[in-house]
Structure 1
């Protein structure tokens, strides 16, 4: 009887660690999510305000599309906010550089939507 109980404990622990490992192991990469909010761009400013929680992020555009599409909107002045939906990862900001005053950096991997029209119900 004692062997059976130990066997069950060992099997249970093996399953727990296997499931825990598969849930947390994404190859050392941050998990991609869809972010919806307001993006502002200009000299030395690339910020995103998350519509869900109002948190503000520094933005890095690894897609090479966000800044390009923003510049094609031909704003007369910089820093005009636009509504975006992007796929990306949230990472800690570096200690130096332009984005260092932000806790987190949104690394944009894919632009889903960008528009001058900010939906009334999209952000608080």
Structure 2
């Protein structure tokens, strides 16, 4: 009976590990990763990104924990001052129970590539 319990426990542990390490979900996330370029604004209540090409607004979740830190280093006197960013991210549907519900989609930033106060000429600077 003792070996039966060990075998059952081993099978259970292997199934949990297999489910947690499902390669399809990580592969799917990599294929949905894209580079975004546009204006980011940050403040106590709103973390938003505006895609300059399309004009769409997104809620921003900073999974890398570098975007908010880099923004705070600019020491703006007022919140919500826009900065130009380029970042790797993927898009998910916004949570309907949070402030992000005001936005259709949420950008989950995985890697900050560039952040600057200088907004480049073009559609972002209009």
- 2:87 — aligned with what? 86
Q: CA RMSD in A?
A: 1.8
3-state DSSP of counterpart to 1:69: helix
Instruction: Encode CA deviations 1:50-102: one digit per residue, 9 max, x unaligned.
Output: 01201000000001000000000100100000000000001110111110110
Unpaired runs of at least 5, structure 2: 1-23
Q: For residues 28 and 107 of structure 2, what CA distance do their matches in structure 1 show?
A: 17
Q: What TM-score, normalized to structure 2? A: 0.75
Q: Offset at 1:25?
A: 7.9
Are positions 1:106 and 2:116 aligned together? Answer: no
Q: What TM-score, normalized to structure 1? A: 0.76
- 2:119 — aligned with what? 118
Unpaired runs of at least 5, structure 1: 1-23
Q: For residues 26 and 43 of structure 1, what CA distance do their matches in structure 2 show?
A: 32
**Structure with the bigger percentage of helix:** 2
Q: Offset at 1:120?
A: 1.6
Q: Is the 8 A contact 1:38 1:48 kept in 2?
A: yes
Q: For residues 27 and 38 of structure 1, what CA distance do their matches in structure 2 show?
A: 28
Q: Offset at 1:26?
A: 6.2
Write the mapping of 1:27-66 to structure 2, written as runs, cut at 5 A: 27-29=27-29, 31-66=32-67
Aligned residues: 101
Relative to structure 1, is the Cα distance of residues 97 and 115 closer, same or farther in structure 2, using a 3 angstrom cutoff?
same
3-state DSSP of counterpart to 2:69: helix
- 2:10 — aligned with what? none
